[in-house]
Amino acid sequence: MRELITPPDSILDPSTGAARAGSYRGELPRVDLSPFALRRLDRLLRHKRWTYVAIASDEVFIAVGVVHLGYLALVFGVVFDKAGRRLLVDRSTFGPPFAASVGDVGGEGSSARAWLPRAQVRIERPRGESRVAVAAAFRGLALEARLDSRAAPPALSAIAQAPRGALIATEKRLLLGVEGEASVLGRRISLDGALASYDYTSGLLPRRTAWRWGLALGRAESGERVGLNVGEGFIGDAECALWIDGDLIPLAEGRFTFDAARPLDPWRVRTADGAVDLRFVPGAAHSNHTNLGLVVSEFLQPIGLYSGTIRVPDGRVLELRDVLGVTEDQDITW
C-alpha cells in the first residue's frame, strides 16, 4: 500500500520546475501552472479545471459540476431518485468561458461559479471557514446546501506529471456533513444528515483524455460511514482511496467491467489488488455526446447502487448493500 504524506507547499519544485508527484493526506496548495506552461495560448488550449459536488441522502443523489475548458464552459446538475431508480432532473449546458470560473485552490478559499441563463452555480469555501456553500439553480432544481468538513476525514490530494507535458492536480473530499435542502420539480427535499463529496481538479491535460471512475457514498451494513473514490487511467492509483468514518486509506487502481453497448446493465468495480469487489447496478445515466469540432466528448455517468465487499487493511471486511454512487466512462478530445 502506498503511503500518504503531508502535501507540499507548492505543486512544482522551485529548484527543478518538476511536479512534486505523489499522493498526499490533506489539501492541495495553490495550483499555479504558469511556470509549467509559459505561453498564454498553451494555457488557454490545455488548462482544464473543474469542481464537482455530489450529495447522497436517503432519498436522492444530487450532482452539480462546473467545468472550465479554457475556451469553453460546461455546467450540469443531476438528481437521481433512489426509490424510483430514475433521473428526476438532468440538465447540462455549454457557455462562453467568461460565463464560468474555477479557482486555483481546492480547499480553503476555493471558488467555482457559473452564470448562464439556464444554469447558475456557486460553490465556495471562504478562507477561515470549514464549510463549503453550494447553491445551484437549473430548470427543475434549486439547491442550497452547506458541506461541513469538521467531522470529515482528511482530503486526498494527488499531483501527477504525465507524458507529453501533462500536469494534473486533484483534491478529493468525501464524507462531508450536509445541511440544507433541494427543491426538485417543486418538491422540497431535506438534505440534513446526508453525505457529500467534493472533487477539485486542475491541470494541463493531453488533447485526448480518457478514464473510468467510480464514487460511492453511504454506510456499510455494520454502520460505518463509507466513501469510495476509484479511477482507472488518468493518474492511476494516486487518486484512489477509501474513507471510513474518520480514516483515509489509499487504494490500488480501479478496474471496471461493463458492456459498453448496454451501459445500464450491472457493472463490476474492483481494485487491482482485489480489496474492493463491488457490483454496481445503474438506474439511469447522465451522458453527453458532443461534437463541436474543437471538443468531441463521449461521456457516460450512470447513477445507481453499489453492493459487495471492501477488505480493509486492519482485517475488517465491510459489506455494502444498495449504497448510492456513480460510475463514469469518459473519452474526450479537448
Residue linked to cell 469542481: 51
- CB atoms under 10 Å from CB of 275, counted, come to 18
The closest of 30, 118, 54 to 325, measured between CA atoms, is: 54
Pairing of strands 47-56, 22-25: unpaired
Pairing of strands 247-250, 254-257: unpaired
Q: Classify residue 154 by its DSSP letter.
A: P
The closest of 278, 245, 217, 213 to 57, measured between CA atoms, is: 217
> What whole-number distance in Å separates Cα of residue 84 and Cα of residue 257?
25
Give 304's contacts (C-beta < 8 A, 6+ positions apart).
Answer: 80, 85, 280, 281, 282, 283, 284, 324, 325, 326, 327
Alpha carbon of 98 to those of 136, 224, 288, 304: distances in Å? Answer: 18, 43, 22, 34
Q: One digit per residue, pLDDT tens: the chain, 334 residues? A: 789 999 999 999 988 888 999 999 999 999 988 776 556 667 777 899 999 999 999 999 999 999 999 999 999 999 999 999 999 999 999 999 999 999 999 999 999 999 999 999 999 999 999 999 999 999 999 999 999 999 999 999 999 987 666 899 999 999 999 999 999 999 999 999 999 999 999 999 888 889 999 999 999 999 999 999 999 999 999 999 999 999 999 999 999 999 999 999 999 999 999 999 999 999 999 998 878 777 888 899 999 999 999 999 999 999 999 999 999 999 988 8
**Angle 204-229-178 from CA coordinates, rounded to 5°:** 105
